[in-house]
Chain A
Amino acid sequence: MNLLRNAAFLLRISRSHGILRRYFVVNGFDGALAMLGLMTGFLVSGEVGLEVVIRACLGAAVALFMSGITSAYVSESAERRRALDELEGAMVADLRHSAHADAARWVPLLVAAVNGLAPLLVALLVMTPLWLADAGVPLPLPPLPAAVAMAFLVLFGLGLFLGRVSGGFWLWSGLRTLLVGVATALIILLFIH
């Protein structure tokens, strides 16, 4: 509890709530679209074993996770260091032992975790029908179309979340992100054929 309170405090003084939200949506979107692309590719490739699909998707999910973590950590650390230096300049003081220095150390780690976990978790969620089919659970659709439907559902959900953040009309916001997913799938189909 204390750890959560401290994390919330560091996010507040570094004004990073918005950044976390943005990274979560942007990279969640990346995860969903990457999985949608893979599933669409497998769908039009004909007979591909479920195990191959799962391994390929897992590989992509881990790559997205690593890319998200490392890119955000490197860029956020540099940004936070610069912000701390500027604040030290304005304060004409050494802030090494202040909450701002703690924020400069910890916020990049938090941002990196969100940036990496968002695409990983979204990808794993999109892959749920594949896991279920692999475990022998009966599905109303074949595994690949079910995973594509799941990707659309996740994209719609991210749109709803964005609609809530912006205070706009939730349904329109959800439909807009869903439309992006449909357009992506169509473009992929167009290129592959």
Chain B
Amino acid sequence: MVQVRRLVLDVLKPHHPDGLEFSRHLAAVCGECRLRLTVMEVDESTETLQLVVEGASLDFERLRAAIGEMGASLHSIDEVEVVGGADAEA
């Protein structure tokens, strides 16, 4: 089975909720994962983020929905790390 191990996402979000609350919500949704949020750009009412999510098996759709629930939108998937076959079982 193919498993997503790492994602680098380009996300646009409003100033509120702030980065900490935003990451906490995503971390609560993705379960066993590690999340790093970097603010790349700040505009009048929005922030551009780089979101690095790592985990044994990431549920991308759930993650995308959670991003939307926080009023943010996913602009692009900049990096993906996926494993399949025997590696995925490890």
Contact = CB atoms under 8 A, between A and B. Distances in A.
A13 B46 contact: no
A90 B72 CA distance: 11
Contact of A93 (B17, B21, B69, B73): B73
Contacts of A13: 14, 16-17, 71
A91 B70 contact: no
User: Which of A14, A92, A93 has the most CB atoms of chain B within a 10 A radius of its CB?
Assistant: A93
B17 A12 contact: yes
Interface residues on B, range: 10 to 19
A111 to B, nearest CB: 17
B79 to A, nearest CB: 23
B51 interface: no
B44 A100 contact: no
A44 interface: no
A97 B16 contact: no
Q: A-B pairs with the 6 shortest C-beta distances?
A: A98-B71, A90-B45, A100-B71, A93-B73, A13-B16, A13-B17
16 contacts: A12-B16, A13-B14, A14-B16, A90-B43, A90-B46, A91-B12, A91-B71, A92-B73, A95-B71, A97-B68, A98-B68, A98-B69, A99-B17, A99-B69, A99-B71, A100-B14
